[in-house]
């Protein structure tokens, strides 16, 4: 067990003669008629880690909103307000062109069957966030980081027919990043604690930034446990910088993106 500090962050090394895409390509799947901004926050956070390319796969109306917000994300639009199960085949095919996948930001429970189908068949390292966590169990995933808060974690354990005393033996090569006042990063044989952050991190969207940081590091070839530790430490440190700059809790999730380069130095 260890408490994370800045010296524990693993920063990807860029290749001096690299070309576009050589430093990682990430796919983020999410969004719904009720949640438009989550995918954009995650995508922009992923880019700030240094990954070369981020594509967001989203319902059509969400896609147009993201196009209006930023030119930095490649947007793949799908018809309909939500992801239906029949869409999984198309998105799985799309995912083959990427180094890592994030699924769940703003996706909503109407996409539960889509998430189940997609995650049971994907062969890429994944970060699983938000409602996608509620759709799966430990038996159906492999090579993934899950980023639940306590309530989502309890639902995941129930779906897996496990409890807090025995789930670790079934983790395989998956990682849990359990969010809270102190984040806990758990593998089958390691545990780390992150104490950066403050009560302002309860703002909507900060978890999307965290998930985006996670997949950005995974997409650049950092191992899952180190990627989760990086994301937890950096996300909390960003909140602490904003608390100092704003002299209070008026900061919002998108403000965190301003200071990633300062924390990564």
For each of the chain's 265 residues, which pLDDT tens digit applies?
A: 789 999 999 989 887 889 999 999 999 999 999 999 999 999 999 999 999 999 999 999 999 999 999 999 999 999 999 999 999 999 999 999 999 999 999 999 999 999 999 999 999 999 999 999 999 999 999 999 999 999 999 999 999 999 999 999 999 999 999 999 999 999 999 999 999 999 999 999 999 999 999 999 999 999 999 999 999 999 999 999 999 998 899 999 999 999 998 998 7
Structural domains of the chain sorted by starting position, each given as residue range(s) with its CATH number in brackets: 21-264 (3.40.1190.20)
**Closest by Cα among 230, 243, 246, 164 to 202:** 243
Task: Note the pLDDT of residue 231.
Answer: 99
57: Cα within 13 Å, side-chain hemisphere? 19
Rounded to an integer, what distance in angstroms lies between the CA atom of residue 41 and that of residue 22? 23
CB of 262 within 8 A of CB of 34?
no
Question: How far is it, in rounded angstroms, from Cα 76 to Cα 176?
Answer: 29
State both tokens at 234: 């950096």
Q: List the structure tokens of 72.
A: 């930095």
Of 133, 142, 61, nearest to 103 (Cα)?
133
Q: Residue 55: phi, psi to the nearest 5?
A: -110, 135
Half-sphere exposure of 176 (CA within 13 A, CB side): 28
pTM value?
0.97
- Which residues lie below 8 Å from residue 131, measured CB to CB, with a gap of 6+? 104, 107, 108, 109, 111, 112, 115
The neighbour count for residue 261, using CB atoms within 10 Å, is 10
> Cα 61 from chain centroid?
22
Handedness of CA 40, 151, 110, 141 (dihedral sign): positive
Query: β-strands 183-186, 191-194: how paired?
Result: antiparallel
Mapping DSSP to helix (H, G, I), strand (E, B) and coil, where does residue 196 land?
coil
Looking at residue 265, its pLDDT comes to 79
Q: Look at the block and give the residue holding tokens 């050589």.
A: 22
Residue-level pLDDT at 17: 87
């Amino acid at each position: 067990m260890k408490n994370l500090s800045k010296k524990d962050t693993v920063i990807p090394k860029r290749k001096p003669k690299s070309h576009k895409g050589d430093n990682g390509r990430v796919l983020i799947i999410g969004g719904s008629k009720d949640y438009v901004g989550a995918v954009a926050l995650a995508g922009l956070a992923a880019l700030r880690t240094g990954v070369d390319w981020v594509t967001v796969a989203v319902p059509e109306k969400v896609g147009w909103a993201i196009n209006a917000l930023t030119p930095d994300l490649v947007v793949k639009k799908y018809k309909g307000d939500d992801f239906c199960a029949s869409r999984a085949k198309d998105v799985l095919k799309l995912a083959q062109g990427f180094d890592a996948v994030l699924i769940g930001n703003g996706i909503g429970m109407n996409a539960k069957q889509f998430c189940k189908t997609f995650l049971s068949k994907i062969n890429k390292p994944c970060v699983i966030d938000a409602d996608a966590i509620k759709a799966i169990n430990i038996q159906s995933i492999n090579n993934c980081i899950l980023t639940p808060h306590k309530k989502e974690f309890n639902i995941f354990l129930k779906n897996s027919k496990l409890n807090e005393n025995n789930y670790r033996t079934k983790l395989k090569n998956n990682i849990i990043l359990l969010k809270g006042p102190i984040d806990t990063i758990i593998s089958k044989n390691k545990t780390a604690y992150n104490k950066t952050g403050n009560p302002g991190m309860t703002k909507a969207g900060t978890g999307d930034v965290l998930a985006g940081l996670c997949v950005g590091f995974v997409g650049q070839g950092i191992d899952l446990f180190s990627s989760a530790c990086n994301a937890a430490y950096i996300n909390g440190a960003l909140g602490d910088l904003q608390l100092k700059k704003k002299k209070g809790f008026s900061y919002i999730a998108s403000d965190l993106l301003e200071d990633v380069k300062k924390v990564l130095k």
